[in-house]
Every structure is written in C-alpha cells, then in structure tokens.
C-alpha cells in the first residue's frame, strides 16, 4: 500500500487500494488504525540522533504533507466496510470542498478528472481546475475518460459511465503538476498528461 498515491490521488482506486482491501478481509477499523499508529511511530523513529531527536519527522518531513497524510486516515478506515471506489470518491469530494469551500463538487463528464487534478496539484488546485476547464476538447475528453476509470470490475464513480480497463496510474503525475507556477505551465502539463494517457491506451487497448 502506497499511502502517498492515495493522498495525492495519483492513480485509480484499483491500483491504490485493491491490495489493501484484500488484506483487510475479516479485519476491523481498529486494525487499520493500529497500522497507521505503527506507520507514524516508524516515521518518528527514523534517522534518530542522540541530541537532535527524530530528525526525519521534525525537520525533514514537510508539515503540510504530514497533515495531508493524517487527514486521509479516517477515510481509509472506511475501506473495511466500503468499496475502494466509494472510499476514494468520499476522499476526493472532501479534499475538493477543503480547497474550494464556496463551490459544490463538480458533476457530470470530467468531474472525476477535475477533482483528481485539483488534489494532485495540492497548492496549485485552482490553477489545475482552471487549466482543465479551459483545455481543448480533446485534452478534456482524454483526461475525463481515463481518470474516471476505477480499475475494478463492477465499480464506477457516481455519475460516470466510464468502465473497462486497464486503468492507468501515471507515476509522478502529481509531481508534474505541482511544479507548475502559472496557468500556461499547468495547461502544458495537462497536455503532457493527456498524451501519456493516450499513448498508454495505444499500447493497451481498452477492454469493455
């Protein structure tokens, strides 16, 4: 389980949560909570020094990143009773409301891509949403379709008919978007991302 993938909405629920869901068969929310306590304890003890203490946690782990990790944990605990897609959908919607408190989460075609791009971009969420809405139709169509696939048979995001696979996880996609400091840069990054998805689909045609 790669916690960073989930926090940054880096991939579809199948790639990010399927294995964890299988391990949790017969487990409880308390079991998963204990796993996270272990994770935090392990991080706290990493790179300890006699005089400086736990440097990994106190000096080298950005506070904003740690907050995002901790903020996501209650959503992951729902995985015991809910599907991978439902858990991711709830998390994405909550993150969008956090970034855009005056807006209602988007609905309809492109909604999943809009929210995922906002989460992937972190502090650049506003730029990502603006760039996606202003992107050429072909870019919106590719991102809207590919980023809405779940990678799990029988599961789909609410309000979308996207189905089939394989569903792609674009490694370091969030890092690409987080480097963008202007709207033109973000528009270029979305074009690159769309090209990667399109190239992947050429190599692995979609099965219904």
Q: Write out pLDDT tens, residues 7-56.
A: 999 999 999 999 999 988 888 888 888 988 988 888 777 777 766 667 77
Q: What is the distance between the terminal CA atoms of the chain, rounded to a whole angstrom?
A: 27
Q: What are phi and psi of 145, to 5 degrees?
A: -80, -50
Which has more confidence, 51 or 122?
122
Mean pLDDT, to the nearest integer, of 160-174? 89
At 60-74, the pLDDT tens digits run 777 888 888 899 999
Query: What DSSP assignment string belongs to 101-135?
Result: TTSPPP-STTHHHHHHHHHHHGGGHHHHHHHHHHS
> Average of pLDDT values for 174-187?
96
pLDDT of residue 64: 80
% of residues, the chain, pLDDT over 90: 67
Residue 42 burial (CB < 10 Å; 0-12/13-18/19+)? Answer: exposed
Rounded CA-CA distance 82/124 in Å is 30
CA dist list (Å): 139 to 65, 71, 109, 198: 29, 31, 13, 10
Average confidence score pLDDT of the chain: 91
Question: How many CB atoms are closer than 10 A to CB 188?
Answer: 14
Structure tokens at 193: 């991302």
**What does the alpha-carbon distance between residue 191 and residue 158 come to, in Å, rounded to a whole number?**
26
Question: What is the pLDDT, as a whole number, of residue 30?
Answer: 86
Q: What is the pLDDT of residue 72?
A: 93
Predicted TM-score (pTM) above 0.75 = yes
46-104 pLDDT tens trace: 777 766 667 777 777 778 888 888 999 999 999 999 999 999 999 999 999 999 999 99
- The whole-angstrom separation of Cα 102 and Cα 57 is 34
Confidence of residue 161 (pLDDT cuts 50, 70, 90): confident
pLDDT of residue 27: 84
Neighbours of 154 (CB within 10 A): 8
* Rounded-to-integer distance, Cα 131 and Cα 13, Å: 24
């Amino acid at each position: 389980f790669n916690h960073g993938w989930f926090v940054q909405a880096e991939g579809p629920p199948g790639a990010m949560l399927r294995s964890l869901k299988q391990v949790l068969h017969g487990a409880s929310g308390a079991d998963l909570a204990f796993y996270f306590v272990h994770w935090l304890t392990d991080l706290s003890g990493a790179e300890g020094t006699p005089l400086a203490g736990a440097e990994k946690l106190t000096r080298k782990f950005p506070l904003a990143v740690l907050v995002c990790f901790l903020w996501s944990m209650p959503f992951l605990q729902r995985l015991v009773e809910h599907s991978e897609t439902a858990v991711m959908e709830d998390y994405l919607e909550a993150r969008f409301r956090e970034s855009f408190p005056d807006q209602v989460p988007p609905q309809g075609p492109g909604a999943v891509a809009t929210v995922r791009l906002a989460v992937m971009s972190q502090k650049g969420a506003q730029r990502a949403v603006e760039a996606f809405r202003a992107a050429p139709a072909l870019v919106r169509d590719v991102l809207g379709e590919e980023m809405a696939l779940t990678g799990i048979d029988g599961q789909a995001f609410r309000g979308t008919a996207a189905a089939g696979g394989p569903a792609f996880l674009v490694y370091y996609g969030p890092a690409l978007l987080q480097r963008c400091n202007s709207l033109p840069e973000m528009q270029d990054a979305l074009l690159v991302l769309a090209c990667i998805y399109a190239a992947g689909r050429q190599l692995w045609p979609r099965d219904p």
